[in-house]
Structure 1
Amino acid sequence: MRRTPLAWKNLVNEPRRLFLASAGVGFAAVLMFTQNGFRNALLDSPVQLIELMDCDLVAVSKARYMLPVNQRFPRDLLRRALSDPSVLAAEPLLIERLLARVRVAGQKARPIRVVSVPSQPGWLSIPGLSELRQKLQPPGAALIDRKTRREYGFNLQDGEPVPQVVELAGKRIHLVGSITIGTDFANEGTLLMRESEFAEYFPVRGGWQPLEVVDVGMIRVREGDDPKEVAARLTSLAPKLWTVLSRAELKQKETNFWKEQTPVGKIFSIGTVMGFVVGVIICYQILFTSLQDAMPEFATLKAMGYPNRFFIGLVVRQSVFLSLFGFVPAVLVAWGLFLALEYFSGLPMRLTVMRCLLVLGLTTSMCLISGLLALRKLLRADPASLF
């Protein structure tokens, strides 16, 4: 005997109510997508530069608790690291934020991140960088990150810079090309220049020795050697001055700082929780009204001897269906919203499968909790009192 899909029919019986219910669930899902998206952007964006480094180990100052701070170590430590038999090569990466202020003609000066291009190719896996290295040879040449915020006033056509007057630290620079790195919550834009240019534009960096202090050391280990053992040996060269980590460890350190030590990470987490709570309230109202309208029919079934588990199963199925009806359009809206936010902010708004499944789980849980709360009256009541 074929059973009637009562949960499905309760939902689709009134298309207008189903549309409004789905819109309410979808609104809550989009709210959770957005808050979770901003939180993930907060955690993904600071490690973008680390992900572009083509090396096994990275060295940073012992005092550098996150990448944007200006804490450096002596370049001589990298030279000493080359004496380790397990070290294949080492290359410094210079990053300047404190002294780097850029001004486009007609705009006010703004701080910007300036990153050095290693003297040897292959250390930064930035698409298109190898083809543009030759253009960086003339003095004052620089590359612009395409995702730099529009507020700077850089004139880009089809992603490439057009001639305009630009000053960095009070001196003229020439934008000769563009690459893509991405912004984060500490850096709204990025320029790339040859390492030797740092001495010209930031002469007081590092106490009048601009090229003798290093922000990040990139180290390659010989094949077959244990990177962890090499990192420990290199750290012991000057444990008070620097620490050597794997790229994964540095990424985790950076992510943990933004997630646990900054209020922004907690705010976005709270925003996701608030979206969940709002969704529970919306779904409760929807499901409670649906159950209330069908209460005489449910009373009849209860009087006929249907057990409570039947009604629980009915509401669970109805809640799951409702969560799917609301979730599918929410994914499409969130996808379009993420594209727009990434375009205007430069932040990496990534909508991955795992992140979609997380929001789907929250949306389904939200509907289930609401449905079970709305069912309490039916489970406790005498059938005769429900007519």
Structure 2
Amino acid sequence: MLWNIAFQTLLYDRGKLFAGLIGVIFSVVLVNIQGGLFFGLIHKASLLVDRSGADIWVGHSGMHNVDFPHNIPERWIYRIRSIEGVQAAEPIRIGFGEISLPDGNYEGVNVVGITEGTDLGRAFEIVEGPEDALSYSDGVIVDQCDNQKLLDPAIGDVREISGNRVRISGKSHGVLSFLVNPYVFTTYVRAAEFVGSDPSTASYFLVRVKPGVDREQVCAEIRRRLSDVAAMPAEEYAAISVNFWMTRTGIGLSFGAATFLGLLVGLVMVGQTLYAMVLDRISEFATLKAIGASEREIVVLLTAQSGMVAIVGIAVGLAFTVGIRHLFSTPQASIQIPPGLYIASAALVFTICLAASALPYLRVRRVDPHSVLQG
């Protein structure tokens, strides 16, 4: 009975109902899209780690961000390879350089040098050019999504990186840096020339352990043999790289503030809509109280109205979110929405809508049922 009254009351004034739904839909879409953009952006901070194919990353004891390494002696890798349970270990070089552009200018790049013949550190999949692009003389791989920054390089084009001749021998897709600098992949040996580093040093060692081997034990043994390095599972270093940008910049605060603003707008719109509906029918609520409706029944009625607005608005908002993600997500502005975010946003907005019903309840609570009898 009460649910039917609540439903009929909402449908009676479709204009106010539509305004309330807009508030809920807006909140759901904003929370998910903002969250998706945040996850898509911050994922770039650990992209090299996530796609490295390594179980363990080994670097300088102060390693805190994958794009800013401190070099370590390359010869140390032999101690790691001799550890029981290690299947493979390869060095990788990461550093900054400048690539020449056809118009005479330069573009800063992140140079990543990987060992030929191994998939450790291979964060890219070639979509243009031969699969063995790095085996070509002076060959480098750039990303299609950086074409605009690099002024549309074609396969076979000759450029320079830090004064060294290079040839665009392959292109990847979607391998973008958290920084504005494009990634350029090359061989481990060439990378030392491009970034001007000591050829006897490496940025990191990438380690793959044998199946069934405890990675933490291998990390502990690496630290025991090499006291000046840090060794940690790949997912742990990925989290550290992400945390570096979260704590050193205002990214988390800015995205969080925008998301909170969306929730606040939704709360105000839903609360205002329900309150306006109650004001228009205050005499009807007084009548309900006059004929014996309890406080509990009034609360159930208002809660039912909020719940109906929330359920419909959330369903429509999630549908809009999926459509927006499908149409507008790109490697440059990736919208990555995990299932947990959909669930959390729906639960949060539903809770806020229920909380919004407290505003009209405070008004109904003050209604004197005798006013109806006196009328």
- The TM-score, its normalising length taken from structure 2, stands at 0.88
Structure 1 residues 15-30: aligned runs within 5 Å:
15-30=14-29
Distance 1:339 1:270, change over 3 A: same
Is residue 96 from structure 1 mapped to residue 69 from structure 2 by the alignment?
Answer: no
1:316-371 superposed Cα distances (whole Å, 9 cap, x missing partner) = 2222221233233333443444456542x624321232111121122212211212
Asked if structure 2 preserves the Cα contact closer than 8 Å seen for 1:183 and 1:347, the reply is no
Which of these residues, 165, 168, 174, is aligned with residue 175 of structure 1? 168
- The TM-score, its normalising length taken from structure 1, stands at 0.86
Structure 1 residues 227-246: aligned runs within 5 Å:
227-240=215-228, 242-246=229-233
Asked if structure 1 preserves the Cα contact closer than 8 Å seen for 2:139 and 2:168, the reply is yes
How big is the shift at 1:168? 2.4
Higher mean displacement: 323-332 or 279-288: 323-332
1:238-266 superposed Cα distances (whole Å, 9 cap, x missing partner) = 333x1110112112222333334432222
Distance 1:113 1:140, change over 3 A: same
Report the AA paired with residue 364 of structure 1: F
Structure 1 residues 59-208: aligned runs within 5 Å:
59-97=58-96, 100-106=97-103, 108-123=105-120, 124=122, 126-128=124-126, 132-148=130-146, 150-155=148-153, 161=154, 164=157, 166-202=159-195, 204-205=196-197
Asked if structure 2 preserves the Cα contact closer than 8 Å seen for 1:126 and 1:179, the reply is yes
**Mapped partners of 1:7, 1:167: distance in 2:** 71
Report the AA paired with residue 90 of structure 1: A
**Mapped partners of 1:311, 1:3: distance in 2:** 9
Distance 1:224 1:41, change over 3 A: closer
**Mapped partners of 1:200, 1:107: distance in 2:** 21
Distance 1:310 1:152, change over 3 A: farther
- Structure 2, unmatched stretches of 5+, are none
Structure 2 match to 1:262: 249
How big is the shift at 1:200? 3.6
Distance 1:339 1:246, change over 3 A: same
Is residue 13 from structure 1 mapped to residue 12 from structure 2 by the alignment?
Answer: yes
Asked if structure 2 preserves the Cα contact closer than 8 Å seen for 1:90 and 1:219, the reply is yes
How big is the shift at 1:300? 0.9
How big is the shift at 1:19? 2.6
Asked if structure 1 preserves the Cα contact closer than 8 Å seen for 2:25 and 2:317, the reply is yes
**Mapped partners of 1:214, 1:367: distance in 2:** 55
Asked if structure 2 preserves the Cα contact closer than 8 Å seen for 1:182 and 1:347, the reply is no
Is residue 378 from structure 1 mapped to residue 336 from structure 2 by the alignment?
Answer: no
Give the alignment's Cα RMSD to 1 decimal: 2.7
Q: Percent sequence identity over matched residues?
A: 21
Report the AA paired with residue 60 of structure 2: S
Give the length in aligned residue pairs: 372
**Mapped partners of 2:258, 2:3: distance in 1:** 40
**Mapped partners of 1:246, 1:131: distance in 2:** 33
- Structure 1, unmatched stretches of 5+, are 156-160
How big is the shift at 1:176? 2.2
How big is the shift at 1:374? 2.5
Higher mean displacement: 82-91 or 133-142: 133-142
Asked if structure 1 preserves the Cα contact closer than 8 Å seen for 2:89 and 2:206, the reply is yes
